[in-house]
Each structure stands twice: as structure tokens, then as C-alpha cells.
């Protein structure tokens, strides 16, 4: 992102993201990591697990942990219960899901519209940046960091 | 060339591992009984196959060492050499070197290694030069390279032919043909050479033997004797027309320079045939069963799918019992039967004989006993006992540890044993057997047993217990001290055990496999470690219990009984709820509290208690309801949720919901 200046006409990189609501904020994740988007399944609570772990769900016989980003980012859950989804993503052999209030759309954003997140109030290490799409601001999540799966 | 072979590399590695295992195993047999022809044949066969495989794969150093080993083995087989301890030691060294090279190959390095030390020793042995070889400095064996006749193992019969030929004005040529290293079909080239030469002559003898050449079992060159009337140049000219030949050496031979190798009386041809026959019988014994190698991952997948099938069958049953349609009911019963069969077949497929683990032990025990200068008779019983693959993979290290222990701390030195009136040769028994849904593995020695005084002294010294506690402990408690972490009684740290990893590691491992370990020991008579393991980790019987709105599974293997109590049965001891059960006092734990269940139902005065075993202690778990016993397919919670205390894994229940399996040992 610090090479914004060098990106002119043809080298402009575009990424595709899935955008979703968490509370009143709009977030997005790189579509390449997203495996599928599901309706809310029955979530089984895991006693004594991290408070940000909502529980586990059965996804066609596979057991997948579901992370509660609302509690991680201290956000109020908003919107209709019916709109809530689990976004399941995969990194190598780890699969996990996040609960979102509503999946808004899939869109392309060009890297020149992404700014590094440097605001003090945010846990900037968990973010890849903030994308400006028209009037909207999409917060790009670094899922690997959120899961604690630092790339080795 | 190497690239083409790469896809066979896995097979090569796998098979060479097996062959090495078999080599080690059979050589041990041979060491015990030097007249054991079948072991020798087996060793020879394995070495021969290994040689062929490695040269096909282009691992020349590997092939070369095996080749020389084979020479010595052949002499052993012919009875020209005695399988004495020196020869056997050398062979063991060779096996180790081979292992090293194969390991190198496995991690992607080449097999290149300077084996001249071993090669020289082998050559010396081959020349019947043991003592010389025994002291062999690598350079000392600049011994004359066997002259041509030695190379060919010429016998009297061959000589007669050669003499006869010479007397009839035939010329005898020694011909060495070196093929292009990149030559793909060596056997074909060799065949063409033979064919060309035999147009106007007769090939008397080849090295390696013609059969090996036919099968392509040579490196890049071979040598032969030809009887012909052609001139050197003519021969060379003819051979040069064959492609992919790098160089040809043709030399006329002076018959008088040839010696009959009188110490090798057998005619080469029969010798060959014999090998061949042995090969065949060997194969018959060992290759009776047709097998397919399957990646364990695929089996896991299959297992998952079957698990899923079983789960959906459960759902189908639920629907069936609601709908009450006769046809549907019948079909469901069929599916039930089939899926049960399927499940047991898949389980069986995953079962492998514990032999796989046990096989490497005889060698280890032998080496260890030698190092420790102890004499040990190592007996393995029940190696055909089958266990789930996942358990097999995990059980090796703990067993190594126990065996090392038995040898190092258990069995005494021969002189000590004699002094005590025991057989100077100690016995270590490794035993496996089935019992119900469990497998028992025992490591038993007839050594000095565990000296409880020593253990106690050590425990006090290390501060595990104080002197007062020590006085109160009974023998069992004392022995259990051995399993505390950081404990080792060996006063001197030996190379063998006492590496800082103690029996606690063994115990943890066994417990992580849902198993148990205990020790029996009699002073002066020996020690027995007994490990109890579940047959499989994938499917277990569990008791399903309800706590609030949640349902949990408790492995049936740790459940002793269930009972119902009322509030009045609960007593308090130092702020801990306890109950009396047939005279025993059990601490009572409320699962709802331990698991922080959010919606706790009001359970009234009567409550269910599941009595479970934790180590050798019983505890009671208060639950809201008992749902019943169920066969469950264990699934891991995955990397992210690993290691949550009290949770062993998860299952997908018949209704599609995930339920958690409680881990009693870490629950508190």
C-alpha cells in the first residue's frame, strides 16, 4: 500500500472482496480465502474456550469453529436474525467461520483505494487497510491474524 | 532419468524400509542360530532386491554397498563363510549405513556417501581375511584387487572348456563392455552384445552372471570371456556398431594366468539356479497375500464418509419412526445393516498388526544390550495383534522408552545376576494381546525390580514429597511416584535412559491415547509395565448426558457406573461436596458449574451422578439427565480449539448438531 504512487494506469491491482455488516460498520475480506457463506447453523457452545469463540458448527460432517467478531471488536449485533450468515474461510488446513450480521455484496476494489489503517482507536494489526468505495468505507480484515495464524 | 524415477521414489523408500527391516530382523535370527538357512535366504533375497531397486533408481552408492554385501552373503549361503559375530556385526553396520543413505534420499539428498571403509571390510571378509579385516584400517585393504579369474568365479569345469578351446586354436578374449550411463534399456543393449558375439563365438562366462545381465541387474558395465576365432579388432568393430556403448575393452587371455578358484567348488550355473529357486520359495512364503498400499489420508477420508453415513442413517431412522411407513422402515433396516458392515470393514482396513512397531525393537534391544554389556533374551509375543493405525503411530516412542528402561534399570549385569543365582542372560518380554475392546501391551523384565527405598529417597531429595509423607506411602504409591514429571532413579545418567524425559512422558502419551499404564514390580524378580489401549481412537462408545440445554458425551471407557442421589446424600468435606458410594467417598463435581452452562435447569432434589475414573481415583459428576449409550465417531476440534481443558473432541450427533466429548482426565 505504500507503493500507491507507483501504481499508475496498467499496474493497478484489483482485489475481489466479500463485503458484510458487523453492527453498523462495513467490513470486507478477500474472496480468495472465502470458502462459502452459510445460513446460521446450530452453534454448539464450547465451555471455557476463548470468549471470542462463539462455538462450533457442523458443516457437512466437518467441525468448524465459529468466531464472534462482535465480541472481538466490541460491536453491537444489529439487523435481522434472518440476515445473519456464517462466512466460512480456509487457510491451508485450518477452516473457520465468522458470524456477520448481513452479507452485502461481492465487489472489486483497486489497491489504490486502500489506505493503511493507522487510526489509534483501531486494532490496526488485525486490519489489512480501509477501502474507499464511493462514499462507503470498507474495513479490510486480516483473517489470518485474527485467527492467530501468522504466516510462517 | 532421475526425473522419470521420481514418481517411484515413494514406493522405493517404502519398500527399501521394509527390506531393511526384514534384513535386520532376519540377521538377528541368524545371530541366534547361525545354521538358520531360511533366515539367510531371506537376508539374501532382501539384499538382492534392495540392490536391484537402488540401481534401477540410479542410487549407485547404495547399490554398490548392497552389491558387496551380497557377495559376502552369497559366501555365507554357500557355507564358505561362517556367520560369526564379527561378520554379523559388519553386516549390521552395513544395514545402518544403508538406512542412513535411504534416510538421506528420503529428505531429498542424494545417496552419495563414501562407503569405502565398509566396502573394504566386506572385500576382506570375502577373501576370507577376517582378522585382517577386523583390524582393517580403510587403507590397509589395498589388497590386490581380485584378479580376473576371481571376478568370474571360474571353476574347473570352466577351465576345462577354456583349455579345450585353446587347444583347438580358438582365442579366449576377456571383454569388458561399458554402456552409456544414460542407457535406458541396459538389458537390451547387453542382449545385443551377446547376440553379436555369439554369431562367431561362444560366451563362456560373464560377470555379473548372465541371468542378472538379462534382467538388467548390473550397473553400466559387464565383463565376459569369449571363445572365438575372430581377431580383437573384428570383435571391437562389431561391438562398436551397437549404440549406447561407451567403451569396449578386448584383451586376449593367457590361459596360464588363470587360476581355478578352488575354494568355490560349485558350478556357477547351478549356483545361479539355486539363488533363483530360493528366490521363488522366499516369495511364495512372503507374498502369498495380495496387498494394496493406500495413503492413510484416503482411509481417513473414507472413515469420515462412513461416519457421515452412519450419522445420516441415524436421522433417517428418526424420520422413519415418525412416519411409520412399512417400506421405508424396511429400507432403513437394510441400510442400517449395510452401514454397520461397512463401518466394521473400514475399521478393519485401518487396523494394522502391531508388528510394524515391534519389528524395530529386536535390533534396538540387541544394540542396547551390547552397549550396556548385558545379556538379554528378548521375546516378542503377539505381534500379530491388530491396532488402529493412529494408535500404532503413537505407541512406538513410549515402548522404546519402556524397553530402554527395562534394559538399563531392570536387567542386571551378567555377573550380578550370577551372584544372585539367576540365569546370567536376562529376559525382556514384549507382549501384546487383545482383550475385549482393548489391547494390552506389556513390557516385562526379570531384573532387580523397582527398589522402593531408592525411589522414596529420590522423591524426598527432589522435593516431590517430604519425609513424613514418605513414611506413610504404600508400595503402589511409591511406584506411582515414578510417573511424576522430572523423576529418574538412575543415580548415574547413562546414555540410554535418563535423558531427562521420564516415565511421565510415557504416561502422558498413553493417556492422550485414552489408555492407561500401570506397573507391577517385585524386588529381585522383575518389573512389568502394562499399557491398556483402546482398539481404536476413531469410534468409541459413549454415554450421552444432558446438562442444562446442552448435551455432552462421556467416553464409556472411563465410566464406572451411574447412580441417583438426593440432596441429603451430599456431605461436605472441607468445602468439597462428596458422596458415599458403597463405603467409598467420592468427590462430587457439578458439570453444569464446571462447564459454565448458561441456562442451568432447576434439578430438584434427585440428581444423576455418573461415576467416572480419573487415574486410580473415582469421582462423581452431577448431570441433569442420562440420555443413553451411543457409538460415536470422534472428530477433532481442529488446530484453533485444541487443548481446551476438559474437552477431548467433538461428534456430529444424529440430529446434525455438534456435541462435545468430555475429557475426564483434564476436567476440573
Contacts of B660 in chain A (CB under 8 A): 44, 46-47
Least confident of B72-81, B234-243, B281-290: B281-290
In-domain check, residue A5 = no
> What's the predicted TM-score (pTM) here?
0.49
Those of residues 24-53 in A touching chain B at CB distance below 8 A are 42, 44-49, 53
pLDDT tops 90 at residue B621: yes
pLDDT tops 60 at residue A151: no
> What is the distance, to the nearest Å, from the Cα of residue B389 to the centroid of all Cα atoms in its chain?
12
**Domains along chain B with CATH numbers:** 2-144 (1.20.120.160), 149-275 (3.30.70.1110), 296-353 (1.10.287.560), 355-534 (3.30.565.10), 539-666 (2.40.50.180)
pLDDT tops 70 at residue B543: yes
Q: Report the residue from A47, A56, A93 with minimal CB separation from B637.
A: A56
Q: Does A143 touch chain B (CB under 8 A)?
A: no
The grid coordinates listed for B645 are: 481443558
Beta carbons of A63 and B595 less than 8 Å apart: no
Beta carbons of B650 and A95 less than 8 Å apart: no
Beta carbons of A56 and B311 less than 8 Å apart: no
- The whole-number average pLDDT for the span B542-570 is 90
Q: Does A63 touch chain B (CB under 8 A)?
A: yes
Q: Report the residue from A57, A60, A65 with minimal CB separation from B641.
A: A65
Q: Does B646 touch chain A (CB under 8 A)?
A: yes
Beta carbons of B637 and A147 less than 8 Å apart: no
In-domain check, residue A95 = yes
Q: Does A97 touch chain B (CB under 8 A)?
A: no
Q: List, edge to edge, every strand of the sheet that includes B647-652.
A: B625-633, B539-547, B550-555, B658-662, B647-652
The grid coordinates listed for A35 are: 470458502
> What is the distance, to the nearest Å, from the Cα of residue B41 to the centroid of all Cα atoms in its chain?
21
pLDDT bucket at B152, cuts 50 / 70 / 90: low
Q: Does A66 touch chain B (CB under 8 A)?
A: no
The grid coordinates listed for B226 are: 569369449
Beta carbons of B646 and A48 less than 8 Å apart: yes
Give the pLDDT confidence score for residue B443 in this predicted structure: 92
Residue of B297, B600, B641 to mutate when probing chain A, most A C-beta within 10 A? B641
**Cα distance between residue B177 and residue B180, in whole Å:** 10
Contacts of B311 in chain A (CB under 8 A): 61
> What rounded mean pLDDT belongs to chain A?
81
pLDDT bucket at B663, cuts 50 / 70 / 90: confident
Spatial contact of B22 and B39, defined as CB atoms under 8 Å apart? no
The larger pLDDT score, comparing residue B266 to residue B481, is at B481
Percent of chain B with pLDDT over 70: 84
Distance from CA of A136 to the nearest CA of B (A): 33
Beta carbons of A147 and B640 less than 8 Å apart: yes
Q: Which of B164, B224, B165 is nearest to B190 (CA)?
A: B224
Q: Does B642 touch chain A (CB under 8 A)?
A: no
In-domain check, residue A8 = no
pLDDT tops 60 at residue B491: no
Q: Does A86 touch chain B (CB under 8 A)?
A: no
Percent of chain B with pLDDT over 90: 7
Beta carbons of B641 and A49 less than 8 Å apart: yes
- The whole-number average pLDDT for the span B14-29 is 83
Q: Report the residue from B597, B639, B658 with minimal CB separation from A44.
A: B658
Give the pLDDT confidence score for residue B5 in this predicted structure: 60
Give the pLDDT confidence score for residue B45 in this predicted structure: 82
Least confident of B216-225, B323-332, B577-586: B216-225
pLDDT digits (tens, 9 = 90+) for B76-106: 877 777 777 788 888 888 888 888 888 888 8
Distance from CA of A64 to the nearest CA of B (A): 7
- The whole-number average pLDDT for the span A26-46 is 89
Beta carbons of B304 and A58 less than 8 Å apart: no
Spatial contact of A137 and A131, defined as CB atoms under 8 Å apart? yes
In-domain check, residue A86 = yes
Q: Does B546 touch chain A (CB under 8 A)?
A: no
Beta carbons of B658 and A95 less than 8 Å apart: no
Q: To which residue does cell 558375439 refer?
A: B197
Distance from CA of A109 to the nearest CA of B (A): 30
Contacts of A44 in chain B (CB under 8 A): 550, 650, 657-660
Contacts of B545 in chain A (CB under 8 A): none
Contacts of B597 in chain A (CB under 8 A): 47
- The whole-number average pLDDT for the span B377-387 is 88
pLDDT tops 90 at residue A71: no
Q: To which residue does cell 494381546 refer?
A: B433
pLDDT digits (tens, 9 = 90+) for B404-451: 888 888 888 888 888 888 888 889 999 998 877 678 999 998 888 877
pLDDT tops 50 at residue B279: no
pLDDT digits (tens, 9 = 90+) for A83-113: 889 999 988 778 899 999 999 889 998 888 8
Spatial contact of B59 and B8, defined as CB atoms under 8 Å apart? no
Contacts of B305 in chain A (CB under 8 A): 61
E-strand stretches of chain A: 14-22, 25-30, 34-39, 53-59, 62-67, 85-91, 94-100, 102-110, 114-115, 127-133, 136-141
**CB-based burial of residue B598 (10 Å sphere; 0-12 exposed, 13-18 middle, 19+ buried)?**
exposed
pLDDT bucket at A122, cuts 50 / 70 / 90: low
Contacts of B637 in chain A (CB under 8 A): 46, 56, 63, 65
pLDDT tops 70 at residue B346: yes
Q: Does A64 touch chain B (CB under 8 A)?
A: yes
Residues of B acting as catalytic residues: 48, 70, 405
Give the pLDDT confidence score for residue B2 in this predicted structure: 44
Contacts of A46 in chain B (CB under 8 A): 637, 641, 644, 647, 660
Q: Does B635 touch chain A (CB under 8 A)?
A: yes
Q: Does B311 touch chain A (CB under 8 A)?
A: yes
Give the pLDDT confidence score for residue B612 in this predicted structure: 92
pLDDT digits (tens, 9 = 90+) for B25-54: 888 888 887 777 788 888 888 888 888 888
pLDDT tops 90 at residue B584: no
Contacts of B635 in chain A (CB under 8 A): 62-63
Give the pLDDT confidence score for residue B453 in this predicted structure: 78
Q: Report the residue from B307, B550, B658 with minimal CB separation from A56.
A: B658
Spatial contact of B540 and B519, defined as CB atoms under 8 Å apart? no
Q: Report the residue from B598, B635, B644 with minimal CB separation from A63.
A: B635
- The whole-number average pLDDT for the span B272-294 is 50
Range of the domain at A107: 13-146
**Cα distance between residue A98 and residue A75, in whole Å:** 14
Contacts of A53 in chain B (CB under 8 A): 640-641
Give the pLDDT confidence score for residue B435 in this predicted structure: 79
E-strand stretches of B482-616: 516-522, 526-534, 539-547, 550-555, 559-566, 571-573, 576-581, 584-590, 606-614
> What rounded mean pLDDT belongs to chain B?
77
Give the pLDDT confidence score for residue A39 in this predicted structure: 86
- The whole-number average pLDDT for the span B542-559 is 90
Beta carbons of B595 and A48 less than 8 Å apart: yes
The conformation of residue B111, written as its DSSP 8-state character, comes to -
Give the pLDDT confidence score for residue B230 in this predicted structure: 78
In-domain check, residue A93 = yes
**Cα distance between residue A16 and residue B537, in whole Å:** 42
Distance from CA of B659 to the nearest CA of A (A): 7
The larger pLDDT score, comparing residue B405 to residue B258, is at B405
Q: Report the residue from B637, B639, B645 with minimal CB separation from A48.
A: B645
pLDDT bucket at B273, cuts 50 / 70 / 90: very low
Chain B: residue nearest A63 by CA?
Answer: B637
First-last CA distance in chain B: 61
Beta carbons of A56 and B594 less than 8 Å apart: no
In-domain check, residue A4 = no
In-domain check, residue A6 = no
In-domain check, residue A152 = no
Q: Which of A52, A45, A104 is nearest to A79 (CA)?
A: A104
Instruction: Check which CATH number belongs to the domain holding A43 and give it.
Output: 2.40.50.180
Q: How many domains does chain A have?
A: 1
- The whole-number average pLDDT for the span B214-226 is 77
Amino acid at each position: 500500500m505504500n507503493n500507491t504512487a507507483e501504481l499508475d494506469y496498467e499496474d493497478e491491482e484489483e482485489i475481489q472482496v466479500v463485503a458484510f455488516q458487523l453492527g453498523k460498520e462495513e467490513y470486507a475480506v478477500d474472496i480468495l480465502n472465502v470458502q462459502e457463506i452459510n445460513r446460521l447453523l446450530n452453534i454448539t457452545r464450547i465451555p471455557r474456550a476463548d470468549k471470542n469463540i462463539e462455538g462450533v458448527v457442523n458443516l457437512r460432517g466437518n467441525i468448524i469453529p465459529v468466531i464472534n467478531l462482535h465480541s472481538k471488536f466490541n460491536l453491537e449485533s444489529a439487523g435481522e436474525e434472518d440476515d445473519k450468515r456464517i462466512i466460512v474461510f480456509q487457510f491451508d488446513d485450518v477452516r473457520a467461520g465468522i458470524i456477520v450480521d448481513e452479507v452485502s455484496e461481492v465487489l472489486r476494489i483497486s489497491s489504490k483505494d486502500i489506505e493503511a489503517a493507522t487510526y489509534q482507536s483501531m486494532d490496526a494489526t488485525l486490519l489489512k487497510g480501509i477501502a474507499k468505495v464511493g462514499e462507503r468505507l470498507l474495513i479490510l480484515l486480516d483473517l489470518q491474524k485474527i485467527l492467530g495464524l501468522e504466516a510462517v | 532419468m532421475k526425473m522419470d524415477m521420481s514418481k517411484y521414489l515413494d514406493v522405493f523408500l517404502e519398500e527399501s524400509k521394509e527390506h531393511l527391516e526384514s534384513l535386520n530382523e532376519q540377521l538377528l535370527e541368524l545371530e541366534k542360530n547361525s545354521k538358520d538357512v531360511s533366515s539367510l535366504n531371506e537376508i539374501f533375497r532382501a539384499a538382492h532386491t534392495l540392490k536391484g531397486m537402488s540401481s534401477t533408481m540410479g542410487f549407485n552408492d547404495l547399490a554398490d554397498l548392497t552389491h558387496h554385501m551380497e557377495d559376502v552373503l552369497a559366501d555365507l549361503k554357500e557355507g564358505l563363510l561362517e556367520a560369526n559375530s564379527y561378520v554379523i556385526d559388519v553386516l549390521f553396520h552395513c544395514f545402518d549405513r544403508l538406512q542412513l543413505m535411504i534416510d538421506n534420499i528420503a529428505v531429498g539428498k542424494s545417496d552419495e556417501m563414501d562407503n569405502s571403509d565398509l566396502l573394504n571390510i566386506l572385500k576382506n571378509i570375502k577373501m576370507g581375511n577376517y582378522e585382517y579385516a577386523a583390524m582393517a584400517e580403510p587403507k590397509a585393504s589395498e589388497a590386490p584387487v581380485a584378479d580376473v579369474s576371481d571376478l568370474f568365479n571360474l571353476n574347473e569345469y570352466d577351465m576345462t572348456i577354456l583349455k579345450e578351446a585353446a587347444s583347438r586354436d580358438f582365442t579366449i578374449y576377456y571383454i569388458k563392455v561399458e554402456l552409456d550411463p544414460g542407457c535406458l534399456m541396459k538389458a537390451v543393449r547387453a542382449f545385443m552384445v551377446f547376440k553379436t558375439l555369439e554369431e562367431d563365438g561362444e560366451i563362456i562366462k560373464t560377470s555379473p552372471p548372465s541371468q542378472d545381465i538379462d534382467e538388467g541387474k548390473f550397473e553400466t558395465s559387464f565383463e565376459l570371456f569369449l571363445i572365438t576365432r575372430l581377431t580383437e579388432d573384428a570383435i571391437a568393430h562389431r561391438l562398436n556398431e551397437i549404440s549406447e556403448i561407451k567403451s569396449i575393452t578386448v584383451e586376449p587371455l593367457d590361459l596360464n594366468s588363470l587360476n581355478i578358484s578352488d575354494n568355490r567348488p560349485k558350478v556357477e550355473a547351478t549356483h545361479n539356479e539355486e539363488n533363483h529357486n530360493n528366490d521363488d520359495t522366499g516369495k511364495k512364503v512372503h507374498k502369498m497375500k495380495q496387498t494394496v498400499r493406500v495413503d492413510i489420508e484416503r482411509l481417513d477420508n473414507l472413515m469420515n464418509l462412513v461416519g457421515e453415513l452412519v450419522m445420516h442413517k441415524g436421522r433417517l431412522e428418526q424420520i422413519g419412526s415418525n412416519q411409520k411407513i412399512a417400506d421405508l422402515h424396511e429400507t432403513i433396516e437394510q441400510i442400517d445393516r449395510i452401514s454397520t458392515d461397512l463401518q466394521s470393514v473400514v475399521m478393519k482396513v485401518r487396523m494394522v498388526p502391531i508388528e510394524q512397531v515391534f519389528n524395530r525393537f529386536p535390533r534396538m534391544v540387541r544394540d542396547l544390550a551390547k552397549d550396556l554389556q548385558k545379556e538379554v533374551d528378548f521375546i516378542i509375543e503377539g505381534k500379530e495383534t491388530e491396532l488402529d493405525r493412529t494408535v500404532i503411530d503413537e505407541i512406538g516412542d513410549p515402548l522404546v522408552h519402556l524397553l530402554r528402561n527395562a534394559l538399563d534399570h531392570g536387567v542386571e549385569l551378567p555377573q550380578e545376576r550370577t551372584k544372585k543365582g539367576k540365569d546370567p542372560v536376562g529376559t525382556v518380554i514384549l507382549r501384546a494381546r487383545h482383550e475385549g475392546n482393548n489391547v494390552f501391551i506389556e513390557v516385562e523384565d526379570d531384573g532387580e525390580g523397582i527398589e522402593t527405598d531408592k525411589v522414596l529417597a529420590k522423591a524426598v531429595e527432589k522435593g516431590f514429597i517430604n519425609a513424613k509423607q514418605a513414611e506413610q506411602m504404600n508400595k503402589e504409591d511409591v511406584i506411582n511416584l515414578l510417573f511424576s514429571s522430572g523423576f529418574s532413579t538412575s543415580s548415574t545418567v547413562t546414555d540410554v535412559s535418563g535423558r531427562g524425559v521420564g516415565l511421565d512422558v510415557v504416561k502422558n502419551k498413553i493417556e492422550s491415547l485414552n489408555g492407561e499404564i500401570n506397573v507391577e514390580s517385585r524386588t529381585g524378580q522383575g518389573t512389568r509395565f502394562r499399557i491398556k489401549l483402546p482398539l481404536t481412537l476413531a469410534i468409541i462408545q459413549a454415554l450421552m448426558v444432558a446438562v442444562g440445554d446442552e448435551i455432552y458425551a462421556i467416553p464409556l471407557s472411563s465410566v464406572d457406573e451411574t447412580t441417583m442421589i438426593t440432596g441429603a446424600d451430599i456431605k461436605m468435606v472441607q468445602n468439597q461436596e462428596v458422596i458415599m458410594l458403597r463405603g467409598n467417598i467420592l468427590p462430587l463435581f457439578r458439570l453444569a458449574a464446571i462447564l459454565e452452562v448458561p441456562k442451568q435447569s432447576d434439578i430438584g432434589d434427585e440428581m444423576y451422578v455418573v461415576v467416572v475414573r480419573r487415574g486410580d481415583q473415582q469421582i462423581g459428576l452431577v448431570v441433569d439427565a442420562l440420555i443413553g449409550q451411543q457409538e460415536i465417531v470422534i472428530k477433532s476440534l481442529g488446530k484453533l480449539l485444541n487443548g481446551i481443558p476438559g474437552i477431548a473432541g467433538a461428534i456430529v450427533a444424529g440430529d446434525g448438531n455438534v456435541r462435545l466429548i468430555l475429557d475426564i482426565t483434564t476436567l476440573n
